[in-house]
């Protein structure tokens, strides 16, 4: 990839230019990239709120990810 940094009139970095070929490669690697920065739908926010409430009520629900990996890698 050969990005070109674009600077404003004060010489501060203001943006990056990449070719369409490079952008297409990024989109194929990260298909949801165009959804970044978009607001979550309310139903997803509700699910997150429900899960956070459950954790607040019972913090023992949280376990290190390493515990899951150990369980998954048991023979």
Per-residue pLDDT reduced to its tens digit, 39-52 = 989 999 999 999 99
pLDDT at 61: 83
Answering whether pTM is above 0.85, one says no
Residue 4's φ and ψ, nearest 5 degrees, are -115, 125
Q: What is the pLDDT along the chain (75 residues), one digit of tens a residue?
A: 889 999 999 999 999 999 999 999 999 999 999 888 889 899 999 999 999 999 999 998 888 999 889 999 986
pLDDT at 26: 94
Distance from C-alpha of 19 to C-alpha of 21, rounded to nearest angstrom: 5
């Amino acid at each position: 990839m050969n990005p070109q940094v674009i600077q404003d009139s004060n010489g501060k970095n203001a943006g990056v230019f990449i070719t369409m070929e490079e952008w297409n490669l990024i989109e194929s690697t990260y298909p949801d990239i165009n959804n970044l920065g978009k607001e979550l739908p309310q139903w997803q926010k509700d699910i997150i709120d429900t899960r956070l409430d459950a954790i607040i009520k019972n913090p023992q629900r949280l376990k290190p990810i390493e515990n899951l990996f150990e369980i998954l890698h048991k023979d």
